[in-house]
Amino acid sequence: MSPIFVIELYVFVLAGFVGYQVITRVPPLLHTPLMSATNAISGISLVGSLVAAGSGRGTVTTVLGVVAVASATINVVGGFLITDRMLRMFHRADPKPGAAKPPAA
Amino acid sequence: MRDLFIQAAYLAASVLFILGLKSLTKPDSARRGMQQAALGMLLAVVGTLVNHEIVDYKWIAVGLAVGSLLGYPLGMFVPMTAMPQRIAISHMFGALAATLVGVAEYHTHSTDLPTARMAALGFEVLFGSLTITGSFMAFAKLQELLRGKPITFAGQNVLNLLLFGGAVACFVFLVASPGHPAVFYGMIGIALLIGILMVLPIGGADMPVVVSLLNSYAGLASAATGFALGNTVLIICGALDGASGFLLSILMSKAMNRSFRNVLFGAFGGDKVASGGRTAEGLVAREISVEDAALRLAYASRVIVVPGYGMAVAQSQHQVRELAELIERRGGEVKYAIHPVAGRMPGHMNVLLAEANVPYDRLYDMEEINGQFEQADVALVIGANDVVNPAARNDPGSPIYGMPILNVDQARSVIVLKRSMNPGFGIENELFYDERTSMLFGDAKTSLTRLVTEVKTV
């Protein structure tokens, strides 16, 4: 096992712990936005796809890369937009009950 | 210098992602935090684009343009009621990206892959491929392209185990000698098949667990991509995503009092399950008219609304809010009791009610509200079944025995909005026959609209 691989393993395990600790504190109220948020963030596979699509390693790699770029971009663009759309909807009760108006979008 | 910039961009992105997820612990800070996470993503992409390995930007531009064109409507125009299938299909895109990067990487380097990288690549395409087809199947079931009931056949679990064994054998073989493309692509084929077979026997009510589990797999595939490419930001994001999905699937399983194994291999909700519990023979349900139900709600001082999947199907969340506002204007108090697995995905009911402009501080988790049912004058159940079934508490023969439920049966009176007495997934619900329970039959949206009209005239 190369030393770099070991360091990467550390990063993975520690990031997993951070994720677990942070996400345990997300209330069930926001579990759907949480899913769409992690989806958007998982679009980070873009960084791998971009290199595959643009490094000129032959047609096969480029085609695979371009499809991967498109898929990841769908998640990035769609994921962040829909998360924002959802989070915009969550608001507290108005002080005057019954007079609740949607917050300015 | 350029490498330094790239690494700084990746580090900043990782920090912003973690802060973004942390912001989701509070509804008021969440939006801002996620916008910062989006900024982090932009940084990471810009950082990657200056990478010296990239020599041609033409095709990158095409991919980005196509992805944005498809992603924009998926983000802006998909209705909240379609959120479960929307989330399921996005797991597919995430896994597809990871898998294709893995295939491209293997295609370029197949003969000179060191063991650790080949193992990472193997994990990447294994998790990736089964998530692609699994998520698509989940999407198809949620979108009702396929019937939501579990699809089972003889020898299903044996076949799954054999395929799984085959995939593992391919994996081990490849790690030992990477230069065999046929084995590599064979492994992908098997994994794609496993994804299909894994979701086939899973019923609609179990979807929250499966969608969360697929979320976790998509994350693990991303993390494996990070290992294969030696890219830390990918490893970090994959780990975050994987942890999130894993945690959600544990929470969902707990909320149903079932193990992963049981969800994945149990084919819950199948026709055979109904025989387990008590039957409703000889019991009579009491029907209530819209007028009487409206009267009872209008004069109630404490009402607890219990939404279920039926509310989502009827898309009646706006009518629910309207009714609640009328009751509040008359001086009553309305709270919402949200069971963790109500609906088809974690947090499904919360999002729908938030969309209908229900303030989030009126939405209560099961633990918070269960003690309050005793004081409630009316519990209004809208299209919920299993999550309010007392059999979970007192009928050891019932397939849902042991599952934590909302204590609706402790309310002073219960009004159940339901299409008909036909039990949804084959489990009888004695709550519907309780002497304090009144049934209001019909489509939830129609019933609620009529209730609203009636309460106005009281």
Domain contains B271: no
The verdict on a CB contact (< 8 Å) between A76 and B67 is: yes
Same domain, yes or no: B47 and B106: no
Is B112 a domain residue?
yes
Q: What is the pLDDT, as a whole number, of residue B425?
A: 54
Residue B149 lies in a domain: yes
Chain B interface disruption, residue of A45, A62, A66, A101, most B CBs within 10 A = A45
Alpha carbon A53 to its chain's center: 21
Together in a domain, B101 and B227: yes
d(CA A84, CA A86): 5
What are the backbone dihedrals phi and psi of residue A101, each rounded to the nearest 5 degrees, phi first? Answer: -120, 150
Q: How far apart are CA B153 and CA B288, in angstroms?
A: 42
Taking the C-alpha atoms of residue A13 and residue A2, their distance in angstroms, rounded to an integer, is 17
User: In sequence order, which residues have a C-beta less than 8 Å from that of residue B293 and are 6 or more positions away?
Assistant: B415, B438, B440, B451, B454
pLDDT of B146 reads 84
Indicate whether B272 belongs to any domain: no
User: pLDDT tens across B199-239, in order?
Assistant: 888 887 788 888 999 999 999 999 999 999 999 999 999 99
Residues B34 and B132 in one domain: no
A104 is a domain residue: no
- Check CB contact of B64 with chain A, cutoff 8 Å: yes
Q: What's residue A4's pLDDT? A: 86
Q: Which residues of B13-32 are buried (b: 16+ CB within 10 A; e: fewer)?
A: bbebbbbbbbbbbebeebbe
- Give every CB contact of residue B264 below 8 A, 6+ residues apart in sequence: B198, B202
Domain boundary among B46, B77, B108: B77
Compute the residue count for chain B: 458
**One-letter identity of residue B379:** A
Tally of domains in chain A: 1
B279 within domain boundaries:
no
Same domain, yes or no: B1 and B60: yes
Q: Looking at the DSSP assignment, which residues form a beta bridge with residue B334?
A: B303
Q: Are residues B66 and B115 in the same domain?
A: no
pLDDT band, very low/low/confident/very high, at B277 (cuts 50, 70, 90) = low
Contact B243 A102 (CB under 8 A): no
Note whether residue B284 is domain-resident. no
Range in A10-24, B45-59, B125-139, B325-339 with the lowest mean pLDDT: B45-59
Closest CA to B338 of A29, A105, A1, A80: A29
Paired tokens of B438: 């009144």
The strand pair at B414-418 and B378-382 is best described as parallel
B386 carries an active-site annotation: yes
**Residue A98 located in a structural domain:** no
Q: Which of B56, B75, B218 sits opposite A78 (nearest CB)?
A: B75
The reply to whether B273 falls in a domain is no
Helices (H) and strands (E) in chain A, counts: 4, 0
- Is residue B374's pLDDT more than 90? yes
Boundary-marking domain end, from B58, B77, B96: B77
The proportion of chain B whose per-residue pLDDT surpasses 70, expressed as a percent, equals 95
Q: Please give the residue range of the domain that contains residue A9.
A: 3-89
Distance of alpha carbon B61 from alpha carbon B48, whole angstroms = 13
pLDDT tens-place values along chain A, 105 residues long = 678 889 999 999 999 999 999 999 999 999 999 999 999 999 999 999 999 999 888 899 999 999 999 999 999 999 999 999 999 999 888 654 444 444 444
Instruction: Give the torsion sign (CA, B372, B375, B379, B384).
Output: positive
Q: For residue A103, tell me if it sits in a domain.
A: no
Mean pLDDT of B286-305: 93
- Token readout for A78 is 């769609």
Using the beta-carbon criterion (under 8 Å), do A2 and B116 form an inter-chain contact?
Answer: yes
User: Is pLDDT above 70 for B279?
Assistant: no
Q: Is the pLDDT of residue B409 over 50?
A: yes
Residue B383 lies in a domain: yes
Cα separation of B425 and B433, whole Å?
Answer: 17
Contacts A24 to B, Cβ<8 Å: 247
- For the whole model, what pTM was predicted? 0.88
State the Cα–Cα distance between residues B85 and B208, nearest whole angstrom.
11
Query: Quick one: pLDDT band at residue B406, thresholds 50, 70, 90?
Result: very high
Q: Do B346 and A34 touch (CB under 8 A)?
A: yes
In chain A, what residues touch B72 (CB-CB under 8 Å)? 77-78, 81
Residue B384, amino acid: A
Dihedrals phi, psi of B383, to nearest 5 degrees: 65, 25
A10 found inside a domain: yes
CA-nearest residue to B109 within chain A is A57
* B86 and B57 together in one domain: no
Tell me if B213 sits within 8 A of A35, measured CB to CB. Answer: no
User: Residue B423's pLDDT is what?
Assistant: 58
Q: Complex ipTM, two decimals?
A: 0.89
Confidence grade of residue B424 (pLDDT, cut at 50, 70, 90): low
Binning pLDDT at 50, 70 and 90, where does residue B296 land?
A: very high
Question: Residues B297, B340: one domain?
Answer: yes
**Do residues A89 and B83 lie in contact, with contact meaning Cβ atoms separated by under 8 Å?**
no
Closest CA to B316 of B352, B350, B342, B287: B352
CB contacts < 8 A, A to B, total: 384
Tell me what pLDDT residue B1 has: 78
Give Cβ neighbours of residue A84 (< 8 Å, ≥ 6 apart). B31, B34, B35, B38
Q: Which residues are B332's β-sheet partners?
A: none
Q: Note the Cα B308 to chain centre separation in Å.
A: 14
How much is the pLDDT for A94? 65
Q: Is residue A41 part of a domain?
A: yes
Domain that holds residue B26: 1-77
DSSP state of A103: P
Catalytic residue among B56, B112, B292, B386: B386
The runs of H, that is alpha helices, within chain A are 3-24, 31-42, 46-54, 59-89
Q: How far is B43 from B37, CA to CA, in rounded Å?
A: 10
Cβ separation B94–A55 shorter than 8 A: no
A15 within a domain of the structure (yes/no): yes
Q: Which residue has the tokens 């047609």?
A: A59
Q: What single letter denotes the amino acid at residue B312? A: A
Residue with tokens 């609609």: B204
Amino acid at B424: G
What's A102's DSSP letter? Answer: P
Q: What is the pLDDT of residues B67-115, one digit of tens each?
A: 999 999 999 999 988 999 999 999 999 999 999 999 999 998 877 888 8
Local structure of B270: helix, strand or coil = coil
Domain annotation covers residue A36: yes
The answer to whether residue B265 scores a pLDDT higher than 50 is yes
Max Cα–Cα distance, chain B, nearest Å? 81
Pair (B334, B347) in one structural domain: yes
Dist CA B83 CA B142 (whole Å): 10
Q: Are residues B361 and B407 in the same domain?
A: yes
**Distance between CA atoms of residues B108 and B303, nearest Å:** 64
Which chain B positions have a beta carbon within 8 Å of A30's beta carbon? 24, 27, 30, 347, 350
